[in-house]
């Protein structure tokens, strides 16, 4: 995070940077989508854990508690970037040390913000979601569709975007 940057601005900056970096390699009319997801608890941003110990620490801090998942999405097309942020409250059930160790042993927490993936084994540790499930997975689909529309791209069911 940059000095003085709040979690929403942090996630949005990263999503925009990803979309803009990829757009440099394509044609101006190409549609590029970037996204970034972070987990926030007690005003602390949890990114991807560096190792198993950090994953265990993160999971212990989330155990039995509510936290916030912030997913930012950005759409770049024709030299213009549009972005938005989705915030979701997620509550974990209480986890004991053996459950945390077993979950880490699956390998799933190693590349996930907050050390869990709701779309995998992590679904078994989530007690409640207040908001967009897809944002917790890492791509706020409804926000993406709205940003695409702003960029002049209308989603067509059953057809490629265009």
Nearest one of 81, 85, 72, 84 to 32, comparing CA atoms: 81
Sign, CA torsion 108/114/117/123: positive
Give catalytic status of residue 30 as yes or no: no
Annotated catalytic residue, options 30, 36, 42, 96: 36
Residues contacting residue 106 through CB under 8 Å, at least 6 positions apart: 120, 121
CA distance 125 to 134: 17
Active site residues: 36
């Amino acid at each position: 995070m940059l000095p003085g940057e709040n979690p929403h601005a942090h996630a949005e900056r990263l999503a925009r940077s990803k979309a803009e970096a990829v757009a440099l390699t394509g044609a101006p009319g190409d549609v590029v989508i970037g996204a970034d997801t972070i987990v926030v608890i007690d005003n602390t941003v949890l990114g991807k854990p560096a190792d198993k110990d950090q994953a265990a620490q993160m999971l212990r801090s989330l155990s039995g508690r509510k936290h916030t998942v912030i997913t930012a999405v950005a759409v770049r097309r024709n030299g213009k970037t549009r972005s938005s942020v989705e915030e979701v409250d997620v509550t974990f059930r209480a986890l004991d040390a053996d459950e945390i160790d077993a979950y880490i042993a699956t390998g799933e927490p190693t590349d996930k913000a907050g050390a869990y993936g709701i779309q995998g084994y992590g679904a078994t540790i989530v007690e409640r979601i207040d908001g967009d499930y897809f944002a917790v997975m890492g791509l706020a689909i409804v926000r993406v569709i709205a940003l695409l529309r702003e960029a002049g791209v209308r989603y067509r069911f059953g057809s490629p975007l265009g």
